[in-house]
Structure 1
Amino acid sequence: MDKGFALVCALLLFGCNSPVETADSHLQKGKDFIEKGELDKAFLELKSANQSDDKRGETYYYMALLDEKSNNYKAMKQNLTRALELDNGLLDAKIKLGKLNVLSGDLDKALELAKAALASDPGNLEAQIIEASVYAKQEKSDQASQIVQQILKDNQDNVDVLSLAAALAYKANRPADALDLIGKGLDKDGKNIALRLFRVKINASNNQVDKVIEDYKSLVDLYPENNNFKLSLASIYSMTNKLDLAESLLRVVIEKEGYKPDSEITLLEFLNARAKDRVPVEYEVMVNRHQRQGAPILELSKWMMANGFIDAAKNGLQKVVELEGDGDLGLTAKVLIADTSMLAKQYDVAKNIVDQVLVSNPEFVPAKLLRARLFLAESNPDEALVLLNKLVWDKANLDEVYALLGQVHQVKKDRKAADKYFKQALEVNPVNLVAFNNTFSSYIQAGQRDTARQVLDKALKLKPNQINFLISQAELDILEKRWDQAQDVVHKIALFSKEKAVPVYLQANVLQGKGKYSDAIALYDKILQEFPGHLNSMVNLARSFDVSGQKEKAVSYLEIHHDKHPDDSAIVGVLTDAYLASKDYSKAKKLLSGHVDKFPKSVSSYLALAKVQALSGENVESVKQIYLKGLQVNPDDVQLALALAGLYEQVNEKQNAKKIYEELLERHPDVDVVVNNLSALLVESDDQDNLVKGMALAERFKNSDNPYFQDTYAWALVRSGRVTDGLKLLEELIIKEPKLPEFRYHLGVAHYQSGNKATALSELKQAIALSDRQKKGFAGQDVAKKMLFEIEHSTIK
């Protein structure tokens, strides 16, 4: 045998490791590096082990530990899942993955993992905690409490057990017990953020402001690098009028963050809310601090413009122009100066500046955007549209282009197109305020709260202190009855809101939602002392009295409030509703008649008085006279005219109704409800000319989002002989609005005319049943009953 060959064989046999040994070596080295805190080296070793031929679950488990340390929970979950696929006996991996699933809301999977862990280790404390946590989140409080009480006996020093016990006590409305358990937990782990914030939450809900302040002060001391705790403490100081302390904390944040525009703007927002006269001086200090840095001065100047400090903003923008010349920042500053002229309606000045900018840079998008806004301001949306459609292809400043396109289509009354462009703007820039306000409100109105929250969360991630986003967050939390979350947001709003009444009102909403009616009433009263006609505060105050069994106090309060402010129409309206709720029609009539005599142009009072007359059983003629009296003083009021026309329809005086609608249409051709009502009246006619006119008017609603307008169009199709088209639209409409009798009646007729008598019978029966249940008639009710009788009679034959 060749000696060289033998030597090679020996080296291969004794000098090289097998794949398993190589993986073991890398895995062990990875563990060692994790213990030493050398995470980058640990990652390389574990990755090497992972890439060797030998695959083992333990390697993925330790990679998951690295993911945990870097807060990469998505990768952590993937690695733990893979670890258990390779080795289902890894108990620690089951525990870690179970905890992650609890946090992510995958409760069934978490419970499955906890039970699997307990099957192999019945006394495993962490698995029991996971199991109890799942039951608590599933509102199975008895099962959760049973587990917690059992493990608490032998684990009174375990912070996780104490935390869970505290959460269950709080959920069971035992805040004192919860606080006691939190205290014990903090004795063991004084730096536990979750426990301290939990105590803040409980003390805040009990209005223990001093205790809330103490906890936040502790958090600031324990975690000096966490500026969010400073901002939270500053907001509490602000709410309790400890403004110097709040300002001091904000200045610490600015210094720690290195005098960045975002943190400086936070201070400006605080001063704007609490000491507005100091804002220009502070802004000047900031501008001087940045000296020859155009970018931060530009950002600060934008904020000043947006908040009405136009003269100061122009000075800062001029400084940017001097520093940056005809560079992008300088030209942007010039466009913003033009924008200030536009805000002052000095359109010629703005146009001249825009023209100068475009001479310097013919493709400068911000200048073209302002030109489009000028077109819009001068009621020339078509010119704006042409320009903006060209800008879309430039792919620059797209969020502003899309947002402005949305506004143009709003002016052109094309809601679908407007919504589409606002959503596109948010995809590019989630904090575009124009697009956010329109999109968020449209989702809320459509009942799409989850989608609204997604839009909101993206905005808050980028601008967590923006007051519009914070108010939207509080309102959505209140709408969804997330009282504790709303409470936290209200504290933050108190720091930045220019209107002091805003956080007070939202705080009252939270207290009302939590059933603390006397506290809520006190805050609503506080608002009404300063803003007597604040409608929502009056309505909520009355509801709080009502729900707490003090309806008579609501009426008494509103009567006294009206005596103090007799000329306020909002108070009259709310007091009228209170009288109607008590069926005290005589007081309601007296109140409204007096207000109408004193303020003959008060349209809302005529409408309310007519309603009272009708509810109290007065004849139709007396109601008609109220509308006519109102129209004598307010001859061009659409609401009063529509109400009178509706009354004429109700008493079958169709010609009088038609005359009013036609006169309204001539004066207000763009008011959709006028078009709709006239169209609906005309298509009911047997006269062919009227039917043709009604169909022509209904065409406007072919692509409408309004279900009532859609129904008018569909019914016009049916009445015009296009039954198949009308039927298809009505079937789609019923899916969205299944409980409107008139829609069911129209669908029944369409089926009948299509020869589907069985389906027609079902729809007509539903229409009449819904009408009876709702105690409300509908147009065509008599025809529906007659048709129903005929179908049933012919079926019997």
Structure 2
Amino acid sequence: MTVTNGGNGIKARRGRMARLLAVSALALAAACASPEEKVQRYSQEGAEFLEAGDLPKAYIQFRNALKINEEHVPSLIGLSEIAEQRKDYQAMFQMLQNIVRLDPSQIESHVKLGKLYLVGSDETAALESAENALEINADDPDARALKAAVLLKIGDNAGAVEIARGVVASDPANPEAVTVLATDKFQNGDRNGALEEINKALEVDPQIAVLQLLRIQILQTLGRNDETLEAYAGLIELFPEEPAYRRVYAGELVKRNEMELAREQFRAIVDLEPENLNAKLNVVRLANRVQGTAAAEAQLQEFIDANPDNDDLKFAMVDFLIEEDEPGRARALLDQLADGDDQDVALKAKNKISVLLLGEGDRESAIALIDEILEVDERNTDALMKRAALQIDDEEFDQAIVNLRTALDNSPDEYDAMVLMATAFEKQENFSFAQAEFAKAYESSDRQARIAQQFSRFLLRRRNTERAEEVLVDSLAAHPGHLENLRLLATIRLARQDWRGAEEVAGMIEQIETQDELAANVKSAAYFGLGDYDSVIETLTARDEVAPLESRPLSSLVTAYLRTDRLDEAQALLDRMLGADPDNYQARIMMARVHAAREDRESYEASLEEAVSRSPEQPEAYELLYRHYLGQGRVDDAAALIDRGIEAAPDNYAMRVFKADVLLNRGERQDALAIYSDLIEERPQDRIIANNFVSLSSDLRLDQDSIARALEIAKTIEDLENPFYRDTVGWAYYRAGDYDRAVEYLSLAVEEIEESAEMRYHLGAAQFASGDEDAARTNLEQALRLGGADFIFRNEVQALLDRM
């Protein structure tokens, strides 16, 4: 956040310091009492230290002054300056609130406070601060620029531009006013105009960092890549001592694969911030990418040799060795650290050793080491978390939760402990507590990508796809470019049939990984959902040129060809694929679809027979060919085909279902029921198997145990809004003697399919049993009419009518 005048910061700070010194000097001249003299002396010394850039000493002196007089405005102003330079905006905000409360005439404090409100999206308070400043001086350019920025934020672009133009007329390099003018043009699509506004200001004062950065962003959106890099280089030249700008520049260089130049920038950051561990590790990472692991290790060792007492670097070497699959060398270094005199370092090393032991499968030794750590430090957070993780594995959830609560008492922001807590609650099926812990972990981690993914996957398991999408979107806003989360977001949007949203995410993935297979698949699925078949073809054809398509995208591509009546192109693609790989099962299935579209039944059948011959264990071609034979009345051929399939893959679930269907077509219902009786034990959650088992069992097995078993299975499908399932469920309730429930489900089934003889029979039987003979007679007579002479339940229906 920028709350100073950007690159005018040096000049502006000197001006503020001069004013602060003057305020302190005037107060000192007027002071009489000894405590007041002390306050003024402390404050003046603080101002001098602040002017010299010695923030720690300045802070102490200002604090000394405030201990005597907590309402001493010059000291509060000094502390707000220190907080601003340290980027501690919360402390700065509190100081500024006190300043304007104690001395409402402090115009600069009103402006700074307003900027903080604006950054925090409190536009009402920001506008109030601007108006307070303007009441003191209606011509103050910073106050006017603040008001313009607020008006722009709330959508009053015309008002914002009018004020900003007035500011720029007298102060052409005012960063806030120029930003308002550039942003207005950018929002209206005039990117070049926005760039022109910024360039004019930078000609007056090139040292306005915020405008330099805004210029870079606009150049990026215009695709002027060379100028963007030149602008970054210029920014570094202007502010060579500012590591933050080098970090941004280095990140851009990494994106452009300019690794050696990026490494130079990270090396410069190390020189500027010798204690910055992350900067050193970035140098190591780039050495790894540019020169390989040996160079990376040598670079890290160089840093360690230069800082032999820096244990963080040694632990970084441990992590590097583990990543390079050298656990032995990592363990040797950890043993050295564990034997040192620093207890905290030793315990950290032992915690890492326990992880290595678990990775080696030596659980017993790992547990012993964790116990040893907790004997020395019973509240050691890492050890408590490891013990809890092991207890979760052992389903000792309550003990795990106790340990995790202790860990969180020690480290309230330890988000990995919260994730473990959530895992324990989820395994206990305490889902509301689990979600609360995941949410806390997500917020505590600052929406970290890894935690966001864990949270969103939990939400998906709970079928809360909307919230899962929210979590990923928020996390990607804070941590853009995380591929796994982009891929997960893409699949969620496809599942929700948000085709445009899925297409957008696929484009983001392609910007990171130009040949990403999932991105192409997501795009094609999105275009398919939108009915844009030409784009499906374009996307997947390009993908096929890189690598042969797998079954799902191949199916999408062929379908797109078929729906756009481009049969020759579809056949040419499949001929090419089968020429390269004659055993490509999916290509043969797709070829059969092309022949079907041409109404070439002979070639359709031949393609499927070839698919069956080459992959006799796969069911898809059997199903298509089976239905083809039945459609032609070739019942014996259909039965023989399924017998071949059963012989090739006797345990294949689909083949056994087809076999049951063959038996039903032959009228051999008891044998079909025997197959479904086995299948329901193997696949109790399969809805089709459940329906078919209950339907057959309710007709063929009328002993009490069988009726109870059928009803038990029927209850697994009773919430499904499908007339066939409702008929099955209703008939199971009828057999169990619950006639009211039977009539309820069977009536719903008949409402949807009025012309089903079997459903009319079932409903009539249930109505007769419940005492409603008139309704029963109507439905039973309808069943005979609809069923005709060959109706399988004709005798049962007639027997019920005879009893009326």
**What's the TM-score, normalizing by structure 1?**
0.58
Question: Cα distance, 1:133 vs. partner?
Answer: 3.0
- The C-alpha deviation readout for 1:144-168, integer Å capped at 9, x for no partner, is 3x44665576546354444334334
Per the alignment, residue 336 of structure 2 pairs with 322
| Structure possessing the higher radius of gyration over alpha carbons | 2
Question: Cα distance, 1:518 vs. partner?
Answer: 12
Among candidates 140, 143, 151, match of residue 131 of structure 1: 151
Q: State the secondary structure of the residue aligned to 1:441.
A: helix
Q: State the secondary structure of the residue aligned to 1:393.
A: helix
Q: Which range moves more in the overlay, 176-185 or 316-325?
A: 176-185
Please give the alpha-carbon distance, in whole angstroms, between the structure 2 residues aligned to 1:199 and 1:268: 31
Per the alignment, residue 677 of structure 2 pairs with 662
- Would the aligned equivalents of 1:508 and 1:521 in 2 still touch at CA under 8 Å? no
Verify: 1:301 aligned to 2:297, yes or no: no
Give the alignment of 1:426-437 within 5 angstroms: 426=441, 430=445, 437=453
Per the alignment, residue 441 of structure 1 pairs with 457
- Would the aligned equivalents of 1:80 and 1:97 in 2 still touch at CA under 8 Å? yes
Please give the alpha-carbon distance, in whole angstroms, between the structure 2 residues aligned to 1:167 and 1:583: 57
Please give the alpha-carbon distance, in whole angstroms, between the structure 2 residues aligned to 1:577 and 1:114: 73
Verify: 1:214 aligned to 2:230, yes or no: yes
Question: Cα distance, 1:693 vs. partner?
Answer: 2.2
Do the aligned partners of residues 226 and 593 (structure 1) sit closer, same or farther apart at CA in structure 2, a change above 3 Å counting?
A: farther
Give the alignment of 1:237-248 within 5 angstroms: 237-248=253-264
- The C-alpha deviation readout for 1:42-70, integer Å capped at 9, x for no partner, is 78878988869xxx9x9999998887666
Please give the alpha-carbon distance, in whole angstroms, between the structure 2 residues aligned to 1:240 and 1:538: 33
Per the alignment, residue 163 of structure 1 pairs with 179
Q: State the secondary structure of the residue aligned to 2:369.
A: helix
Verify: 1:357 aligned to 2:369, yes or no: yes
Give the alignment of 1:686-765 within 5 angstroms: 689=705, 692-694=708-710, 696=712
- The residue identity in structure 2 corresponding to 1:103 is V
Verify: 1:178 aligned to 2:194, yes or no: yes
- The C-alpha deviation readout for 1:543-570, integer Å capped at 9, x for no partner, is 99999x9999996996597468546969
Among candidates 328, 339, 345, match of residue 358 of structure 2: 339
Please give the alpha-carbon distance, in whole angstroms, between the structure 2 residues aligned to 1:652 and 1:266: 73
- Would the aligned equivalents of 2:691 and 2:714 in 1 still touch at CA under 8 Å? no
- Would the aligned equivalents of 1:182 and 1:199 in 2 still touch at CA under 8 Å? yes
- Would the aligned equivalents of 2:357 and 2:365 in 1 still touch at CA under 8 Å? yes
Give the alignment of 1:11-410 within 5 angstroms: 40=59, 71=87, 99-100=115-116, 102-106=118-122, 124=144, 126-135=146-155, 144=157, 146-147=158-159, 150=162, 154=166, 155=168, 157=172, 158-224=174-240, 227=243, 229-254=245-270, 256-258=272-274, 262-267=278-283, 269-270=285-286, 277-278=293-294, 281-282=297-298, 285=301, 289=305, 296-305=313-322, 307=323, 309-310=324-325, 312-325=326-339, 327-342=346-361, 350-351=362-363, 353-354=365-366, 357=369, 384-386=394-396, 389-395=398-404
Do the aligned partners of residues 600 and 224 (structure 1) sit closer, same or farther apart at CA in structure 2, a change above 3 Å counting?
A: farther
Please give the alpha-carbon distance, in whole angstroms, between the structure 1 residues aligned to 2:626 and 2:127: 58
- The residue identity in structure 2 corresponding to 1:319 is L
- The C-alpha deviation readout for 1:472-497, integer Å capped at 9, x for no partner, is 79999999969999999988x68xxx
Question: Cα distance, 1:321 vs. partner?
Answer: 0.7
Do the aligned partners of residues 184 and 300 (structure 1) sit closer, same or farther apart at CA in structure 2, a change above 3 Å counting?
A: same
Per the alignment, residue 423 of structure 1 pairs with 438
Question: Cα distance, 1:252 vs. partner?
Answer: 4.0
- Would the aligned equivalents of 1:91 and 1:117 in 2 still touch at CA under 8 Å? yes
- The residue identity in structure 2 corresponding to 1:532 is P
Do the aligned partners of residues 273 and 423 (structure 1) sit closer, same or farther apart at CA in structure 2, a change above 3 Å counting?
A: farther
- Would the aligned equivalents of 1:98 and 1:109 in 2 still touch at CA under 8 Å? yes
- Would the aligned equivalents of 2:148 and 2:164 in 1 still touch at CA under 8 Å? no
Please give the alpha-carbon distance, in whole angstroms, between the structure 2 residues aligned to 1:335 and 1:219: 47
- Would the aligned equivalents of 1:272 and 1:279 in 2 still touch at CA under 8 Å? yes
- The residue identity in structure 2 corresponding to 1:127 is K
Q: State the secondary structure of the residue aligned to 1:337.
A: helix
RMSD over aligned Cα, in angstroms?
Answer: 7.4
Question: Cα distance, 1:253 vs. partner?
Answer: 4.2
Q: State the secondary structure of the residue aligned to 2:651.
A: coil
- Would the aligned equivalents of 2:47 and 2:78 in 1 still touch at CA under 8 Å? no
Comparing both chains, which one has the higher relative contact order based on Cα–Cα distances under 8 Å and sequence gaps of 6 or more?
1
Do the aligned partners of residues 433 and 99 (structure 1) sit closer, same or farther apart at CA in structure 2, a change above 3 Å counting?
A: closer
Please give the alpha-carbon distance, in whole angstroms, between the structure 2 residues aligned to 1:647 and 1:180: 77
Q: State the secondary structure of the residue aligned to 1:385.
A: coil
Per the alignment, residue 788 of structure 2 pairs with none
Question: Cα distance, 1:319 vs. partner?
Answer: 2.0
- Would the aligned equivalents of 1:169 and 1:178 in 2 still touch at CA under 8 Å? yes
Size of the aligned set, in residue pairs, is 687
- The residue identity in structure 2 corresponding to 1:385 is E
* Structure 1, unaligned runs of 5 or more: 1-13, 136-142, 343-349, 495-499, 727-748, 755-759
Do the aligned partners of residues 164 and 424 (structure 1) sit closer, same or farther apart at CA in structure 2, a change above 3 Å counting?
A: closer
Question: Cα distance, 1:177 vs. partner?
Answer: 3.1
Question: Cα distance, 1:315 vs. partner?
Answer: 0.4
- Would the aligned equivalents of 2:524 and 2:539 in 1 still touch at CA under 8 Å? no
Question: Cα distance, 1:443 vs. partner?
Answer: 3.5
Please give the alpha-carbon distance, in whole angstroms, between the structure 1 residues aligned to 2:287 and 2:182: 39
- Would the aligned equivalents of 1:230 and 1:253 in 2 still touch at CA under 8 Å? yes
Q: State the secondary structure of the residue aligned to 1:532.
A: coil
Please give the alpha-carbon distance, in whole angstroms, between the structure 2 residues aligned to 1:654 and 1:195: 81
- The C-alpha deviation readout for 1:477-527, integer Å capped at 9, x for no partner, is 999969999999988x68xxxxx855x976998999999x99999998776
Question: Cα distance, 1:438 vs. partner?
Answer: 3.0
- The residue identity in structure 2 corresponding to 1:170 is F
Please give the alpha-carbon distance, in whole angstroms, between the structure 2 residues aligned to 1:544 and 1:179: 44
Question: Cα distance, 1:385 vs. partner?
Answer: 1.6
Please give the alpha-carbon distance, in whole angstroms, between the structure 2 residues aligned to 1:613 and 1:375: 56
Per the alignment, residue 497 of structure 1 pairs with none
- The residue identity in structure 1 corresponding to 2:154 is V
Please give the alpha-carbon distance, in whole angstroms, between the structure 2 residues aligned to 1:560 and 1:209: 43
* Structure 2, unaligned runs of 5 or more: 1-29, 341-345, 409-414, 777-804
Please give the alpha-carbon distance, in whole angstroms, between the structure 2 residues aligned to 1:340 and 1:578: 50
Question: Cα distance, 1:716 vs. partner?
Answer: 7.6
- The C-alpha deviation readout for 1:690-744, integer Å capped at 9, x for no partner, is 5632554588899xxx9999xx99x9899869xxxx9xxxxxxxxxxxxxxxxxx
Please give the alpha-carbon distance, in whole angstroms, between the structure 1 residues aligned to 2:458 and 2:432: 13
- The residue identity in structure 1 corresponding to 2:333 is K
- The residue identity in structure 2 corresponding to 1:332 is N
Do the aligned partners of residues 603 and 174 (structure 1) sit closer, same or farther apart at CA in structure 2, a change above 3 Å counting?
A: farther
Percent identity at matched positions?
14
Please give the alpha-carbon distance, in whole angstroms, between the structure 2 residues aligned to 1:168 and 1:550: 48
